[in-house]
């Protein structure tokens, strides 16, 4: 392990550490305009165990927006050295400020995460995620340098140059967005290379929801081991929770964060092992502490111990954001249910898109699916058969029969950053 003493800490000791750090965090947070008001009447001595965190109020994305840009800062602006913003996938972005110490902590958590899935000092990492405001750029970058890897800041896009860099510099670790990984694997093959001849062995994939089926496809197409990486700007960025080599859920670094899983409707903790909304508190951030942040991400704690010996609890892959839920004809559907069906079908290629439209008084879902070249034949009857098969498989999962449109490989537009999986025009008029 990167830090044995912390990563394998006895649970009781770890909880004690959390309580101490939580108390300090509350006192520190009270120095910010926002929390000085919100926590004005809160007595820090009411925190005796980690469970007492439930006595504190939640912080929501709207709170962060209303406090934009400086309302949560506990120090004068001159003490800060960096700002990032969330990608704004779900609305107005929020700004996150870091002191030098916060950046150091982040790099350490990141290095620890990468070490857990087998990255070592002797590796070379190519960071194929967008730099700029997105935390996946500099966050992974500094963590990789902290671990001692040669770090190539290739950024997103320009597939040919990416391939050349990987080959020229014997790149063994990639950081790549999952939706782009499938496309990239294809590009590598089209450029005339076999993925098994590429020097890589590890892919860090995250930043967007993806299914176990998509991971399996990435691993197979790229001849690589792909590890799930979870984070969000409000909690620094990547390096919040990460898979170890056992790939049985992501260890969430509990010396730096207190994680809770709640029923999004009642705000109460769900039973251990049940799915709910992840709520996070920073306990190692000095410049901009955030208490009980409602991430809107849905997951569960995985019960039991991991074989690797790390004692920090694991969360399951994010099944989606609470905001991602689509309601069609009264049925609740998550995009990941659709991905799971599609990615388990051998005929399906790399990309798909879900469109929701209103026609008169009724709503319809069309699922556009890229089909692998070898299955895209001229015989209409064969294609119609495939179309029906996909619609039927989807229906068994989402309980509605969507329209299915078969698309040629590479014909659905791709984004360089997080994939857009759903286009919903129902409320536009």
Stretch 299-328 residues interacting with Zn ion (CB under 5 A):
306, 308, 310
Applying CB under 6 A, does 126 fall inside the site for ligand ADP?
A: no
List the one residue from 63, 297, 339, 370 that touches ligand ADP (CB under 6 A): 297
Residue 151 binds which entry of Zn ion, ligand ADP, none, CB below 5-8 Å type-dependent: none
List the one residue from 232, 306, 354, 419 that touches ligand ADP (CB under 6 A): 232
Long-range (24+ apart) CB contacts under 8 A made by 6-11 are 6/255, 7/112, 7/116, 7/251, 7/310, 7/311, 7/312, 8/309, 8/310, 8/311, 9/255, 9/311, 10/311, 11/311
Q: Which is nearer to ligand ADP, 206 or 402 (CB)?
A: 206
Closest approach, Cβ 108 to ligand ADP, in A, equals 19
Closest approach, Cβ 302 to Zn ion, in A, equals 10
Residue 105 binds which entry of Zn ion, ligand ADP, none, CB below 5-8 Å type-dependent: none
Binding region for Zn ion (CB under 5 A) out of 1-9, 82-90, 177-185, 236-244: 236-244
Q: Which is nearer to Zn ion, 284 or 310 (CB)?
A: 310
Applying CB under 6 A, does 337 fall inside the site for ligand ADP?
A: no
Closest approach, Cβ 237 to ligand ADP, in A, equals 7
Applying CB under 6 A, does 233 fall inside the site for ligand ADP?
A: yes
Stretch 150-209 residues interacting with ligand ADP (CB under 6 A):
206-209
Applying CB under 6 A, does 230 fall inside the site for ligand ADP?
A: yes
Applying CB under 6 A, does 143 fall inside the site for ligand ADP?
A: no
List the one residue from 244, 250, 394, 398 that touches Zn ion (CB under 5 A): 244
Applying CB under 6 A, does 86 fall inside the site for ligand ADP?
A: yes
List the one residue from 47, 318, 356, 406 that touches ligand ADP (CB under 6 A): 318
Binding region for ligand ADP (CB under 6 A) out of 40-48, 223-231, 264-272, 370-378: 223-231
What the block records as the tokens of 206 is 């995250």
Q: How many chain residues touch ligand ADP (CB under 6 A)?
A: 20
Question: Footprint of ligand ADP on this chain (CB under 6 A)?
Answer: 86-90, 134, 206-209, 228-233, 295, 297, 318, 321
Question: Footprint of Zn ion on this chain (CB under 5 A)?
Answer: 244, 306, 308, 310
């Amino acid at each position: 392990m990167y830090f044995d003493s912390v990563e394998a800490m006895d649970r009781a000791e770890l909880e004690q550490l959390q309580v101490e750090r939580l108390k300090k965090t509350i006192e520190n947070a009270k120095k910010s305009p926002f929390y000085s008001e919100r926590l004005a009447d809160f007595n820090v001595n009411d925190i005796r165990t980690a469970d007492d965190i439930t006595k504190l109020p939640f912080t929501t994305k709207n709170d962060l927006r209303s406090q934009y840009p400086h309302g949560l800062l506990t120090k004068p602006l001159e003490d800060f050295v960096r700002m990032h913003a969330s990608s704004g996938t779900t609305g107005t972005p929020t700004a996150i400020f870091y002191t030098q110490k916060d950046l150091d902590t982040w790099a350490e958590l990141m290095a620890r995460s990468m070490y857990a899935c087998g990255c070592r000092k002797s590796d070379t990492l190519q960071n194929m995620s967008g730099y700029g405001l997105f935390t996946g750029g500099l966050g992974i970058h500094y963590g990789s340098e902290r671990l001692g890897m040669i770090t190539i800041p290739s950024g997103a896009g320009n597939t040919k140059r990416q391939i050349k860099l990987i080959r020229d510099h014997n790149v063994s670790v990639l950081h790549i967005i999952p939706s782009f990984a499938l496309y990239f694997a294809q590009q590598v093959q089209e450029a005339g290379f076999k993925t098994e001849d590429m020097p890589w062995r590890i892919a860090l994939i995250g930043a967007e929801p993806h299914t176990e089926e998509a991971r399996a496809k990435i691993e197979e197409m790229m001849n690589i081991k792909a590890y799930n990486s979870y984070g969000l700007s409000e909690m620094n960025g990547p390096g919040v929770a990460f898979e170890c080599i056992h790939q049985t859920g992501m260890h969430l670094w509990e010396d730096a964060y207190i994680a809770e899983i709640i029923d999004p409707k009642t705000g109460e903790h769900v039973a251990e092992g049940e799915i709910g909304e992840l709520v996070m508190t920073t306990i190692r951030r000095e410049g901009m502490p955030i208490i009980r942040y409602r991430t809107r991400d849905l997951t569960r704690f995985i019960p039991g111990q991991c074989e690797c010996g790390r004692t920090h609890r694991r969360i399951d892959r994010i099944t989606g954001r609470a905001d991602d839920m689509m309601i069609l004809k009264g049925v609740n559907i998550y995009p990941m249910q659709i991905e799971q069906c599609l990615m388990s079908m051998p005929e399906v290629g790399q990309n798909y898109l879900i469109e929701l439209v209103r026609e008169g008084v009724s709503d319809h879902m069309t699922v556009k699916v890229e089909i692998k070249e070898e299955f895209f034949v001229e015989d209409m009857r064969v294609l119609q058969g495939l179309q029906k098969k996909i619609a039927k498989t989807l229906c068994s999962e989402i309980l509605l029969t969507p329209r299915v449109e078969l698309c040629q490989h590479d014909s659905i537009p791709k984004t360089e950053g997080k994939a857009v999986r759903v286009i919903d025009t129902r409320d536009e008029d």
